[in-house]
Chains A and B, each alone.
Chain A
Amino acid sequence: MNKNINRRSFLKRFSAGVATATLATSCSSSVNNDEEQKVVVKKENMEMRINPNDKQKVSLIAYGCMRWPTLADKREDPEACDIDQEQVNSLVDRAIEGGINFFDTAPTYCKGFSERSVGIALKKHERSSFLVATKLSNFNPEDWTRERTLAMYERSFKELQVDYIDYYVLHSIGRAKPDAKGNQLTFQETFKARYVNNGVIDTLMEEKKKGRIRNLGFSFHGQQDAFDYFLSLHDEGRYVWDFVYIQMNYMDWQHASKRNTQAEYMYNELAKRNIPVIVMEPLLGGRLAELPLPLSEKLQAVCPNKSIASWAFRFVGSFPNILTILSGMRFPDHLENNLETFCDFQPLNETEKNVLNECVVSYAEKDYILCTRCEYCMPCKYGVDIPSIFTHYNKCLLEDDYFLTNEYPDQRVFQRARRNFLIGYDRAVPRLRQATHCINCGECLEHCPQHINIPEKMREIDQYVESLKRTDVPTDVFVVLRKELNEKQCSLVVRDVKGENHIFNHSGVKDLYTLVATNPKLLHRAYLADKVVGKGAAALMIIGGISGIYTRVISEPALQLFKQTNIRVEYDELVPEIINRKGDGLCPVESLVKDLPTAKDCLKPIGEFVSKLNY
């Protein structure tokens, strides 16, 4: 035995002892955590769907390769926008290990480098172990010739390093675009120019027979008539669509933007024809992964251990005709989160569906710009950073900072929010890339799959920023409203959150009731000016969620009702009660709701009263 333990070996033993001790404690703590039952991520657990055409198994989650990690992510070189290939390789390896077998890319993605990157990452895996989808992205009118379009097709094979493509997609059809000379075409003409007139689609059909393409379909962004048209081609047997890519998520299900088609309609039409659906934008460009705080709290209360994003995936995955769901997982934690969701896939149950539906309704109330950061609009020739501007706008909307007009009751709140907005804007977007540099050339318009009127939005944001820069002293909204009420000689002025005035001329509570019943969004956080406010009107205003009210005459009970809320009230005259027009008794609405304690109780009797008046 060596009794002379020198200092070094002592330290060695000592540290080994410490290490074991730490190991022991960490083990015991992980046991504690495991009570929450961990999902086992492995191939066998992955939720699979079967393509009815070729009976091939497809993982319900697919890897969207539109947003690969860049070198800039690592902060090694903030200017480098090049793809971080090492990171891509490890993401793809992990995805395949976890059971994902569908990879979706396109020649235009990641500044044109996505296909190559996917090809490199997939090369070491067996060809039969994965399915790859790519697209025919001949958006540019110069690419509409047969030669150039087919060259794009052939290049995909080379870039992806494969000899057949499992899913070949006619990229984003359904939009009307101008041709090379600038003439505006209809969506049919655009489709024909891109694929039919040059004979490309027939060639692709032949390629399918040859086996170089296994499934042929299209991805769709557009309005319902266009969607119907493309399905009619299928019904007539002109072209057979083996699958269709549609934008589907719980927002787009029934609340798609005006220029898009409701996902519910598209899904049902496709299910009717038994065409498998591949889902784009399950998270609406990431926005459904970061819901506004009150909404995310609601969801977390139901499933405390699941991510907000998982709700979106489970919503879409609950439909049986979905073949796979595309998700662009840029960071490893996104991937892990999705693997967990899909290795233990559970469709939404009834309670969950109801909670989600509540969120959808309140989310749809706000005027978010539906930018998904796909960057199809970029680069803007004039250097404007369109997606970042929209992201900042949405973020402020989410934090309620945007709804500032210069008319604001509280000076300090206004000044703080103003400062935060302007500083945040400069942080989010360099000055030379801000909305003020949008020259309204309109070249981005045709590229936006969400059909956002980008120049118009830019102008709105620019004007808003300009108005904020001009002054840090808010003008009192009630001064403005008082003037409006006097000048317009009307009975009610509603100044909505955007600062637009709406004038109403009916007497009594009729206008208010109609608003609450048919257009509640208008009253939400609005400021009102009214001539006379009784308890009935006050109840309707509270239900409508207004922020403040100026009135010439207010009744005692109405004021009492307002005091239960934090609505700001200003009035010229306070009366014990509102009398009727003849002047011989109580106003009928006032007497109707006299004894009801809360605003909500008043809604029903007022409704009955108003409908009686109508007949």
Chain B
Amino acid sequence: MSKKRIRQILAVFFFFGITLLFLDFTGVVSNYLDWMPRLQFLPALLAMNFFVIIFLLLLTFLFGRVYCSVICPLGVLQDIISHIVGKYKKNRFFFSPAKTFLRYFIFFVFFVATLFGVGVITQLLDPYSFFGRIAGQLFQPIYLGLNNLLAIFAEWTNSYLFYSVPIVLTSLTMLIVAIGSFFIVGYLSARGGRTYCNTICPVGTLLGFFSKFSLFKPIINTEKCNGCHLCSRNCKASCIDLTNQKIDYSRCVACFSCIDNCKKGAIEYRFVFDTNKKSVEQNAEKNQENQMRRSFLTMIGLGTATVAFSQKSVDGGLAEILDREIPQRKQPIVPCGAYSLDRFSKKCTACGLCVSTCPTKVLRPSSSLDHFMQPELQFTEGYCRPECTRCAEICPTGAIEKITSAEKSSIKIGTARIVSSNCLAATEHVKCDNCARHCPNGAITMVPSSEEGIFVPSINAERCIGCGACEALCPSRPFSAIVVDGLTVHREI
């Protein structure tokens, strides 16, 4: 088996593994593959997982940018697109000098931004998050649609193998960003192979430092080479300068295509300090893309439209249910395990893995500029269930730290407050205690109001953990009569 074939098999394995994590809604896949996103460079860095960082740097120092061609899902996605285009257009690449200044400039901006916690830039440039957005926002809905189709068949046959799940548009902003990202990457890879990786990607630039000096490299044997250019015409990293018989190792992603393509066996992947070594580095440049962003939110719910609260006089039918609107919160609510808003926004790369995996669709990418694309809790579809810790289990950066469900029920992430003007008990004197009844911590009690015989909810803020059960189950629509505000610093109660 050629080295290229081995690389392809491994790449496909990683790519499908990570994609499956973003597609899966059952939580089963993460039991087996949750180590994959932890192996990603930036998440590992943010999680201070030095073991992984050292491993990745060593790997690069030994074998070149294998990370980029195998582990990074965005890199593999580009390879897949480029491979498909390559079926129609042969020998479409050519050597281009490195755009060194641009590369280092972007890397510098990224470095400073990450250091000072300017999340937006980190999140937009990090290749793993870049891929996460595409997979979570574009691939997952398709996957869910197929699943729902199977669920319909399953229902016909009375099988419980598949069950349907609601496809929720978690954030239009995020969707637009994802579509934009997909087209940029699609265009760049269809046209120039690994242009993104070798010009924009800060992880690529960083690993490029190391791969320059890597111990194993593809090396041109000048004696055997007949200068046919087959290698450089098929190098998606555009890094083989055959005229000078040099390879820019900072851009080479160790894909081994050149080795397979050379009819003369003039390129070998071997230990550098063997005889006749030839390696120099060169520079590059490329264009840069900016992403547009706009923000507004919509939802696809179950029911729709209004219900007239009138006395019934005929039988049957279903009252229509208004869509829940997202209320104004004093502070955004971030998931349990984030510990504080500041810490969270510095550590989260907005890959959206938690958003994809959240079973109640409570986690939504934020559209506010401070926490752009980072998840926050919204209770339109459900609430943050006490037994569920899936986001904490899957977060690769440690932005949401691992917690047990017991810990979760004692960590306060927000406080509910009552909006009396919406409360049916207070305004319409309906005998309702749904919030009090469903509060998992018993933080809500029904107390007599000023009017006789009417009981209204009252919140014991110290007991409230901010799970949102009350807000989600409040019968008042479109705006709930009880709203949870996030805490800037979470605490144990």
Contacts and interface: CB of A to CB of B under 8 A. Distances in A.
B70 to A, nearest CB: 36
Contacts of A437: 434, 473, 475
Given A380-B319, A383-B303, A419-B160, A108 B430 contact: no
Given A142-B311, A378-B316, A436 B432 contact: no
Given A111-B317, A374-B315, A431-B302, A442 B473 contact: no
A379 B319 contact: yes
A511 interface: no
A385 B433 CA distance: 19
A380 B438 CA distance: 20
Nearest to A419: B160
A140 B303 contact: no
Contact of B433 (A139, A379, A381, A440): A440
B301 to A, nearest CB: 7
Contacts of B318: 378-379, 383, 385, 433
Contact of B431 (A381, A383, A441): A441
A155 to B, nearest CB: 13
Contact of B160 (A379, A382, A424): A424
Query: Interface residues of B: mostly helix, strand, loop or mixed?
Result: loop
Contacts of B437: 440, 459
Interface string B302-334: 110001010111111111110000000000000
Nearest to A385: B318
A382 B431 CA distance: 13
B155 interface: yes
B-side interface size class: 35 or more
Given A383-B303, A432-B302, A440-B431, A140 B475 contact: no
Given A423-B163, A431-B382, A432-B321, A108 B315 contact: yes
Interface string A423-454: 11011001111001111111100010000000
A459 B434 CA distance: 10
A408 interface: no
Interface residues of A, number: 45
A439 B314 contact: no
Contacts of B382: 431
Nearest to A110: B316
A383 B307 contact: yes
Contact of B320 (A143, A383, A469): A383
A464 interface: no
Contacts of A442: 431
Contact of A469 (B313, B319, B385): B385
Contact of A439 (B160, B381, B433): B433
Given A383-B307, A383-B321, A441-B431, A470 B313 contact: no
B163 A426 contact: yes
B312 A379 contact: yes
B97 interface: no
B274 interface: no
B117 interface: no
Interface string A466-482: 00011100000000000
B478 interface: no
7 contacts: A111-B315, A378-B315, A383-B307, A432-B303, A441-B431, A447-B312, A469-B387
Given A379-B307, A383-B319, A437-B434, 5 more contacts: A110-B315, A379-B317, A383-B321, A433-B302, A447-B312
Give 3 closest A-B pairs by Cβ, nearest first. A375-B316, A112-B314, A439-B432
